[in-house]
Amino acid sequence: TWTILGQQVMFAPQSPTNALSGNADSWDGYRGARARVFDMIERAKVSNLAVLTGDVHSSWAFDVPRDPFAGYDKATGKGSIGVEFAGTSVTSPSNVGRDGQKQLDDLKAARPRLHYVDGRYRGYYIVDLTRDRLQADYYAVATIAERSTKERFEAGFITESGRNHLVPASSPA
C-alpha cells in the first residue's frame, strides 16, 4: 500500500524553480536529479509515497508537490504526490528556530506545503503504518547533557491512503 523512500537530505522543493537554492546540500541543489525521480514516480503511477528523511538537524513535515508554487492546494493537498517527514538529530545542534518562534512562522509562511518545522529540540520521530494510514509522531528528549528517559510528544501527522496530504494527529499512534 505504501511506497517508502528513505534518504538523508530534504527532498521536498524549498525554492521556486527559477530561484537559487537556499540549501545546495539538499535535493534543491540537485533539481535535475529530483525532476527525474518525480518523472519516475509519475510514469510508474506510484501512490502513497512517504519520504523519510534524516540528517537535517531539525524536524519538518511536508506535503510533496512537484511544484509547490503552482498547482498545489494547501487546504486539500491537491497537487501533492506524497508526504515527507524529516527528523532532527539526537545530539547535533540546529539553526532552525534558534531565533525563536518568528523564524519558524516565517519558514512556514514561505512554504505553504510545510505543516511542521522545529529545530529547537533534539529528538526523533516514529512512523506507524497500517493499510489505511501512515502516522508520524515527533518526540523531544529532555536533555542531551545527561542520560535520561524523559521525552515529550511534540507533534503528529497523518496521511490517509490515497490522499498524499498531511493532517495533524490528535495524539501519538
Give the tens place of pLDDT for each residue, 78-112: 999 999 999 998 788 788 777 888 888 888 888 88
| Cβ–Cβ < 8 Å for 11, 5 | yes
Q: Does the structure show a pLDDT above 80 at 18? A: no
- In this prediction, residue 15 carries a pLDDT of 78
Contact present, 172 and 138 (Cβ < 8 Å): no
What secondary structure letter does DSSP report for 29? G
Question: What pLDDT is stored for residue 146 in this prediction?
Answer: 87
Share of the chain above pLDDT 90, in %: 60
**Position 141: which residue type?**
V
Q: Is the pLDDT of residue 63 over 80?
A: yes
> Per the confidence metrics, is the pTM higher than 0.85?
yes
pLDDT digits (tens, 9 = 90+) for 162-172: 999 999 998 89
Local structure of residue 165 (DSSP, 8 states): -
Secondary structure of residue 33 in the 3-state scheme: helix
Averaged pLDDT, 15-33:
82
Instruction: Classify residue 44 as left (phi > 0), alpha (psi -120 to 50) or beta.
Output: alpha
> In the prediction, which pLDDT does 16 show?
74
**Number of residues that this document lists for the chain:** 173
Cβ-contact 164, 81 below 8 angstroms: yes
- The overall average pLDDT reported for the chain is 91
C-alpha span between 10 and 15 (Å, rounded): 12
